[in-house]
Amino acid sequence: MDSVRGLCPLQDDCESGRYPEPTNISRLIIVSRQPATFSRLSSNMSPIGTFFGDAIYKYDAPRQGRLFAGHPGRIVLNKGQNFETALRDLDGFERIWVIFQFHENEGWRPTTRPPVPAPGRERIGTFASRSPYRPNPIGLSCVRLLRVDGLTLYVDEADLLNGTPILDIKPYIPMADAFPEAKAGWVDEQPKELWQIVTSLEFDAQNKWLCENSDFDLLSFAEVQLCRGPFDDSRHRLEVDLACKRGVLAYRTFRISFEFDEKMQKITLISIFSGYTAEELADLNDKYGDKPLHHSYLEQF
């Protein structure tokens, strides 16, 4: 496990989100470096508000909002545009469609590797995926509407990053929007079962301390990253020892130790430890500004 401490914090924070390209098809992948802008579509298109929530970094965001229940966020609409009137009658809907901008992504690829590939489908076409790297950086999410208060919409089950620009809001109408019997292509070939995530008492105490002394919630992060199992080898923040049935998941400069039971599809979060070595913590250089937090954490645990 000591080798995992070498995982680079810079890699954790600045990971691009683009998956590694298999060498046998790398020649087929063309990357556009020109970011899409809304000015080419319409000079009148601009955000109507901003989303605020728990997911700060790209790797915090769940792959589907329904997997992130219990982590409420809010959409705050801009003042002075009569949006109070535009929100009238919306509070009767249980769910809403949120159209937003992928504001932290530039460029796009014609193919992408899905987080949970179907057997024999390592890469799929971008238009057959929910990849955030698209010709126009527009996202669509169906979230649960909790309540409306003035210009603020309180929501849950959102897969948006904190600070995401909101472009539009529409009501979700089951009669028109739900087609439960519709075929879903390669998605129908994916494994359907979610893994159970449980915690040890040691992990609970450590995570509680971090939640109280920082903006970190490593339980939420682990639930997002591991709910489909610990075997996604495309993740740079994950190290798994198949023989010992144990692994380490990196969150910024902290590490989560866990064990797993493949037969039961169960993951137990064991403990949280610092990703810094003793020598690195003794070094006065504090590139990420978090060494005081690590020192305090180690004094507690």
pLDDT tens figures, 188-198: 776 667 788 99
Assign 269 a pLDDT band (cuts: 50, 70, 90).
Answer: very high
Residue 293 clears pLDDT 90, i.e. is over it: yes
Residue 35 clears pLDDT 80, i.e. is over it: no
The vertex-301 CA angle with 55 and 269, nearest 5°, equals 50
Residue 68 clears pLDDT 80, i.e. is over it: no
Q: Are strands 152-156 and 254-261 parallel, antiparallel or unpaired?
A: unpaired
Residue 67 clears pLDDT 70, i.e. is over it: no
* Domains in the chain, CATH or no CATH each: 31-189 (2.40.30.70), 196-300 (3.30.2310.20)
What size, in residues, is the chain?
301
Residue 279 clears pLDDT 80, i.e. is over it: yes
Strand partners, 99: 140, 168
More confident residue, 56 or 291: 291
- pLDDT by residue (tens digit) across 89-125? 999 999 999 999 998 888 898 998 776 666 777 788 9
Cα distance between residue 259 and residue 57, in whole Å? 25
Give me the pLDDT at residue 63, please. Answer: 59
Per the prediction, the chain carries an average pLDDT of 81
Question: Which of 45-54, 59-68, 82-91, 125-134 shows the lowest mean pLDDT across its residues?
Answer: 59-68
- pLDDT by residue (tens digit) across 153-207? 999 988 888 899 999 999 999 999 989 889 888 777 766 677 889 999 999 999 9
Cα distance between residue 6 and residue 1, in whole Å? 10
Torsion of CA 294, 208, 219, 269, to 10 degrees: 80
How many whole angstroms from its chain centre is CA 174?
26
The pLDDT > 90 percentage for the chain reads 46
CA-to-CA dists, residue 5 to 42, 45, 279, angstroms? 48, 46, 12
CA-to-CA dists, residue 69 to 138, 209, 223, 297, angstroms? 23, 23, 11, 29
Give me the pLDDT at residue 70, please. Answer: 64
The beta strand positions in the chain, using DSSP E, are 49-52, 73-77, 95-101, 111-112, 124-125, 138-149, 152-156, 165-171, 196-199, 238-241, 246-251, 254-261, 266-274
Is the four-CA dihedral 259, 264, 117, 223 of positive or negative sign? negative
